[in-house]
Every structure is written in C-alpha cells, then in structure tokens.
Amino acid sequence: MTSRRAFLSGGLTVAVAATLAACSQDVPTTPTATGTPSAQPVLDSDRLTAVLERVQTGLDAADKAKDATKLTGYLTGPAARVRSEEYTLASAAGNNSHVHVLATTSQAGAVGLTTDFPRTAMTVTQATADGDVPYLLALSQDTARDSFQLWGWARLYAGVKVPATSTAAVGSEQVDAASTGLVSTPQDVLNAYVDALNNPDGDNGKAFADDPLRQRVAAEKAVDLGGMGQITVQASPGTDGFKGLRTSDGGALVMTTCTFTTEYKNTVARSTIEVGEPISFLLGGDKAVRGTVTAHYDAMVAFSVPAEGSSEKPVVLGGDLVLSKVERDDSKAPTG
Amino acid sequence: MNRRILSAITALVGLVVIALAVCSATVWRPSSTAQATLAQTPDQHYVVTEPGVLGLVDSAVTITATASDDAPVVLVVGHSSDVKAWLQSDPYVSVTGLSDWDALTSEDVTTSCPSDSATGSASAATTPSAVAAPSPTASTDAQGCTVLTATGADPTTSDMWIATKSGTSKVSLQMDATDPDLVVLAATDGSGNAPTLSLSWPRHVSTPWLVPGLVLGGLLLLVGVFRLLVDLQTRREDERRRAAAAERAARIASADLTSTAGIPAVGDPDRPLTRRERRDKERAEKAGGEWIDPRTGRVYLGGVESPAVPQAPVSAQVESITEEEAQAAVGAAMGSSVVPGLDEAATAAHRETRELEDGSPLSIVEPSDEEAQAQDVDETADEATESLAEVETTALSETREDEQADQPETSDEDEQADAEETVEQAKATEATDDEENK
C-alpha cells in the first residue's frame, strides 16, 4: 500500500515536472558564421529595373538642363564624361541631336556575382519607338555607399548577336582587363582592335569585321585635303578600364573605351583648310586650320570575347562615339 | 475499504494526468509566437543582426523597428557582406542572438579590428612605435583597432538592399530568412540613434506530453474505475447475501412456531437452552403459544407444561391385532347387520342380546341432567371411537378381499369403494394438515 501510493505520487510528480519542463524549450543559439560569405548576385532583376529607372530619371533631368553636374549619382566613368562632352557639343552646336537618346528599358540584364566592389551589371535595352537600335548598358557600383550608375553604353551594331548570360537571379562572374579563360584577355582584345583601327590591313584589321567605328576612322583618313594638308588619324586604347561579365558559354561581354584623334595639319603656307562640323562648333566658329587642329574622339566599345579554346574571334558588338574636344595649334603653321 | 480508496486515488490520478496532459497542450503550451526585443535602446545609429539571427527560430520572421517618437524609421534587408560593406567605418549595435525567448542579445561594435593574426602582427609592429609616439591617431585604440566613427549616412537609398521598408515611429517587415546570410539593418535616418529592434517568429511548439499523458491517464482512470466497479459489485453482492440471510432468518423466525414444533431435538435434558431456543421460548410464552422444550420434548402451553397426551402408536395397534381378534373385539363390520343374507337365527341371537332382562314393563326413568349429559358425551365418544376403528379396520380389510369371499359380491364392492373413498379422504386430510404445518 505505502509503496504503491509512493509510486503513484512519484509518477504524478514526474508527469507534472515533465509537463512544466516542456514549457521551457531551449533557446536556439546563433550558428557561427561559416567563413567568408558566398558571392551573391549584386542585384536582382527588380532592383536592376529600379536602378535603371533611377538612372533614366537622373539622365532625363540632366539632359533637359544639359548640365553635366546633374549626372552625379546617375552616370559615372566614361558614360558621365561622354555625356558631358555631348552636352558641350550640343550646346556649342545648338543642336540636341548630338545628345544620344538613351532609353533604359531593359530587355535582358545580367549582374555580377561578387561581394566585392566595384560591382557590374549589364543590360540590353529595348529599341526605342522611333526605330533606334538597342543599347548595351554597363552599370557599375564603385563602393558600398554608392548606388549603381551608368558606366558606359554602346549602340549595338546591326546584325550582331549578344551572347547569352545568366539571369540576374543567378549572377555572372565579373570580368576585368586581365580576366583569363578567354581567347585573349579583354585588354589584349582592345589593343588588337585599336591596332585594327590604325592598321586596317594588318592581321588584326582582318580579324575584326568592319563596323561603324572602323568605317568612321577610315573615312577620317580618306579625307582629301587636296595636297594642302595632312591628316593623321591615331587610335589608342582608353584608360577607363573594363566592365564585363562572363557569358553562359564561358566567354565575356566586355565594355571599354578607346579614343582616336584626327590631326589636320596645314602643310602649305598661305593655304586655307577649313574643318567641317561638328569640329568647327568646338572651335568657336573658326573653321580655318592654320597650323594643326586636332579632334579628339571618345568611343565606348563593347566586345564579345569567346571562351578560351573557341575557334571564334572577338567580335565588336557595338560602340558609340563622340567628339570630345578639338585643339588648335597655330604655332605649327607652315612658314614660308 | 483500503482497496476502494486506492481505486479512487488511481482514478483521480488518472484524471489529474489527463488534465495535466491537456493543460500541457493548451494553457501551458508555450506561445506559438516568439517575440524577442532588444534589451535596451541602442545608442548607435544602426542596429544590425548577425547572420543567422533572423532565422533562429523560424524562417518566417517579422522584424519590427520602433523609434521613440515620430522619427523616420527604415528597415533594410541585405546580404551580410553588403551590409557590412555599407557600414564601412560606422559603429553599430550587433544583434547576436537570443538570451531567452523574449530578449535579444546584442553588443556594440565600435572598433574595427583586423583579423586576429593581423592584429597580432600589427600590435607587435605598432606597439613600439606607439610607445615612441603616444598618440598615433585618434582613430586607433590600444589594441590597434580602428575606432569607428559615425558618418550619419542614410541607408535607405542603397541599391544593395533586397528589401527596404521605411516609415515613421514604427516599421514592420516580414521576410523569409531561409538564407542565413540575410541580415537586417535598422536605422532612423542614420543621423540619430537607431530604433529598437524586435524580431518575432512563429514558433513550432510541440506537445510531447499530450498523447503519453492521455494514454497513461486513461489507463489509470480505467484501472481505477474498473476496480471501483468490481468493489461496488462485491459490496452489492455482499449486501444482497446479507439481506437474503436476514430475510431467511426472519422467515425462519416467523416460521419457528410451527416448523420447529415438528422437529423437537431431544438431547441432554439438563443443558442450558441456546439463545435461539430461549428466544423461541420467550416468543411462544408471549404469544401464549405452544413451546416444545427441545431438550425434553415436553410441550408447554403459555409457559405451563401441558400433560402429554398418551398416544398409542397406530402401527402397534394394527400389528398386535389379528383378524380374528379384531372381529371378536369389534364384532362384525358396522352395517353388516343390515346386509341381507343373515339368517334368522343370527338375527334372533342378536336381538336377544338386546332384549330387556327382566321383562319388566317399560318404565321411563328420568335421569338427572348430569347423568344425561355424561351419557351423551360417552355415547358421542364411543361413536367417534367406533367410526375410527371402523375406518382402520376397513382399510386393513382392503387387502383381504379373497378371504371375505363368503360375503356377497355387490356389498363387498360397495364396501371396498367406501373404504377407498375414506382412505382417500384421510389422505387428503393428512395432506391438508401437512400443508398447514408447513
């Protein structure tokens, strides 16, 4: 009897204690962070759209005022510089057609996959309503406290095919000047292209297909000054660096800059050479070339660089060109 | 008794266990929402959760930031690397986990130290120079860590945030924290102290004691109730038996006056009466009834001994008398005198015995009243005795039909029928008596 009652009361106690113990579940502890965090897509498609909309808003406001200072926070790098030059030219010419109409409505976007800065995103815009071609835009976030800004754009040439990239949700490896795993590094591609511009008949000139930029350079060279002058066209790689993303097939989509200058030199004393528009706009209306007049062009170029081992060659996807400045040097005027 | 108490206790314990089990799954069940809040108001401009804190309890987390007054409040969700990158050199409050179910643990991050190995080499390298130059820079503390200074930047507009929600006073944000790398940063506008952060999760609350408790309690209850029922039945059976015994006793008691009279137990005449016998005696005396002393077999009526009625055993009477003797003692069977067939001589002899002796004239002597009555009584008694004897004789003669062959057939048959009838009547009387006795 006693043992039984003890047993029962003991069981009851255990039941109560266990019930109460069930109330006090252990508080979960924070798992320790596992090393370096894995790389994340730097943007998702929604945020990419938001970024593009913000850029568009800022761009529109700056375009309206043609005020380069209003580009701050929206455009950076060569894009900001080129846009600023366009404003200058447009202001000098009194013609807004020198300002490219940029529509940032994206039809396909790719973002970098990294935790570091700067971060890159690229997108192909939809063709504007008035039949303009699509642009390839490169966006960059330089530091954590910066927002994504438009770094560069390239008008896609007719007939080119932009290689496929991973979606924004997946992210793509960022590519820089020295990235490997490609048929050649982006820097080498740029150098080769500049060589093609300078020596269209060389190996590199044959490697690249003809494109509007090459045609422009060729046209500059082909200007006949009637023996009274001399034209020198010299292209050189840009110094803005590269923004690029790895494509799905291991190649790269790269945007960079190059420049070329056209020097008009008067070689015959007392001869008169006049430069045409739009160079003249930046000469304050004085078209005469007494010594030398050097026109500087700023170009943004987009390449598709195949993956290493591919039989294909780098392709110029697009580019854009602006007359950045014109220098006059009358001291080099021919004498005699 | 003890068994009943134990059964009741068992059943009660079963009920209690069931109640506890139910309570454990209802009123004592921990809240299905765990809400943890920062212990104190942050004194830095930003509050940031450590990776993994948001998904500590459940992936569905609701983050609430509450500012003291109508200050702007912003909650942003981002990858830990992004948030850390954004914070750069700003001090912040780091939410590190839960101290209990409703409190978050936190620590202020006010310095940025290089990784441990770098710190070691850096301190080794910088300590001598620090001694040489007591104040290297204001932004480095004794351990060589960079003291973080607030910049007051507003995190709202950064592109890096996966989700942003801003408002005033109080902002709440629901998110899926399946990715442990996601963290949340809460701020006002970056220029003032951060709002108080509160995280709440739906909490998976198990009820591990419900089913075992119900089973155990149910078993205990069943056992207790079963035992109680068994006990009840036993008691009822007991009561019934007791009632039956009492009833029997009562019946016996009421039946004693008649039934016990038939079975007098004659034993030691000097033994004291048993209690029951005494009771019977008292009852009989009170009722004025007959009581038979079981020791002696004497019959008392109203407490007075009644003389025994000498009663010759019938069997002895019958056995001792032969047919001839019976014939001689009783004479011819009654009624045989009127049976035709007696010769005149016999009739005459018979009549002769009845003839007056002295031939004196018939005189009428008036007898005294007493004599007459006595004579009547005697005659009646005689007649009764005669009829009894007749019956018995007739009964006896039944078996001896052949021996009475000299008597006419018809009368013999009549006689026999009469006798049979009488016997039957006697038997019926006996049966009635028996029944009455019973």
Separation CA B432–CA B130 (nearest Å): 140
Separation CA B348–CA A30 (nearest Å): 151
pLDDT digits (tens, 9 = 90+) for A18-38: 655 555 567 788 777 666 667
Of A92-106, A304-318, B257-271, B273-287, where does mean pLDDT reach its minimum? B257-271
- Confidence check: pLDDT of A297 > 90: yes
**CA dihedral for A19, A21, A23, A29, sign (positive or negative):** negative
- Confidence check: pLDDT of B117 > 70: no
Separation CA B160–CA A192 (nearest Å): 36
DSSP A121-151: EEEEEPPPTTSPPPEEEEEEE-STTSPPEEE
Most confident residue range from B121-130, B210-219, B277-286, B362-371? B210-219
Name the more confident of B94 and B344: B94
Looking at residue A182, what is its pLDDT?
A: 94
Give the 3-state DSSP-derived string for B136-152, with helices as H, strands as E and coil as C. CCCCECCCCCEECCCCC
Instruction: Please report which helix (H) or strand (E) contains residue B78, including its range.
Output: strand B72-79
Task: Respond yes or no on whether the N-terminal peptide bond of residue B180 is cis (omega within 30° of 0).
Answer: no
Separation CA B402–CA B396 (nearest Å): 13
Of A269-278, A287-296, B208-217, where does mean pLDDT reach its minimum? A269-278
Minimum-distance CB partner of A115 among B81, B99, B153 = B81
Mean pLDDT across chain B: 74
Is A8 in Cβ contact with B160 (below 8 Å)? no
Q: Which residue of B has its CA nearest to A36?
A: B81
Q: Which residues of B touch A25 (CB under 8 A)?
A: 30, 101, 205
Is A42 in Cβ contact with B205 (below 8 Å)? no
Nearest Cα of chain B lies from the Cα of A20 at a distance, in angstroms, of 8
Mean pLDDT computed over A246-252:
93
Minimum-distance CB partner of A19 among B9, B24, B56 = B24
Q: Which residues of B touch A4 (CB under 8 A)?
A: 6
Distances (CA, A) of A269 to A120, A224, A280, B263, B270: 52, 17, 21, 180, 187
Q: Which residues of B touch A29 (CB under 8 A)?
A: 97-98
Polymer length of chain B: 438
B46 touches A at CB < 8 Å: no
Looking at residue B395, what is its pLDDT?
A: 45
Mean pLDDT computed over A44-69:
91
Three-state secondary-structure class, residue B176: strand
Intra-chain end-to-end CA distance of chain A, in Å = 138
Per cent of chain B over pLDDT 70 is: 64
Distances (CA, A) of A252 to A108, A112, A122, B22: 16, 12, 12, 65
Looking at residue B326, what is its pLDDT?
A: 67
Per cent of chain A over pLDDT 90 is: 54
Count the Cβ atoms, other than its own, within 10 Å of residue A126: 15
Per cent of chain B over pLDDT 90 is: 13
Q: Tokens 């590519």 sit at which residue?
A: A175
Number of A–B residue contacts, CB under 8 Å: 102
Confidence band of A98 (pLDDT split at 50, 70, 90)? confident
Distances (CA, A) of B316 to A13, A224, B322: 89, 187, 12
Amino acid occupying residue A75: L
- Confidence check: pLDDT of B264 > 60: no
HSE (CB half, 13 Å, CA atoms) of A250?
A: 10
Q: Which of residues 222-241 of B touch A (CB under 8 A)?
A: none
pLDDT digits (tens, 9 = 90+) for B119-175: 333 333 333 333 333 334 446 666 777 888 888 888 888 888 888 998 988 899 898
**Radius of gyration, alpha carbons of chain B:** 64
Q: Which residues of A touch B77 (CB under 8 A)?
A: none
Separation CA A47–CA B214 (nearest Å): 54
Name the more confident of B74 and A6: B74
Q: Which two tokens stand for residue A3?
A: 């043992």
Mean pLDDT computed over A173-198:
93
Q: Which residues of A touch B10 (CB under 8 A)?
A: 8
Mean pLDDT across chain A: 87
Nearest Cα of chain A lies from the Cα of B24 at a distance, in angstroms, of 6
Separation CA A196–CA A233 (nearest Å): 12
Q: Which two tokens stand for residue B326?
A: 């019976």
- Confidence check: pLDDT of B276 > 90: no
Separation CA B329–CA B318 (nearest Å): 13
Task: Give the residues across from B97 on adjacent strands.
Answer: B105
- Confidence check: pLDDT of A325 > 50: yes
- Confidence check: pLDDT of A213 > 80: yes
B205 touches A at CB < 8 Å: yes
Separation CA B237–CA B389 (nearest Å): 58
Confidence band of A84 (pLDDT split at 50, 70, 90)? very high
Of A268-277, A300-309, B251-260, where does mean pLDDT reach its minimum? B251-260
DSSP B226-268: HHHHHHHHHHHHHHHHHHHHHHHHHHHHHHHHHHHHHS-----
Count the Cβ atoms, other than its own, within 10 Å of residue B272: 9
Separation CA B109–CA A183 (nearest Å): 47
Minimum-distance CB partner of A29 among B97, B101, B213 = B97
Looking at residue A217, what is its pLDDT?
A: 92
- Confidence check: pLDDT of A279 > 80: yes
Mean pLDDT computed over A241-261:
94
> Residues of A near B (CB-CB distance < 8 A)?
1, 4-5, 8, 11-12, 15-16, 18-20, 22-23, 25, 27-31, 33, 37-38, 40, 42-44, 47, 50-51, 115, 117, 141, 144-145, 147-148
- Confidence check: pLDDT of A55 > 90: yes
Q: Which residue of A has its CA nearest to B204?
A: A25
Looking at residue A260, what is its pLDDT?
A: 93
Q: Which of residues 122-181 of B touch A (CB under 8 A)?
A: 153, 157-160, 162, 180-181
Statement: the pTM of the whole predicted model exceeds 0.80? no
Mean pLDDT computed over B48-77:
88
pLDDT digits (tens, 9 = 90+) for B180-190: 888 999 998 88
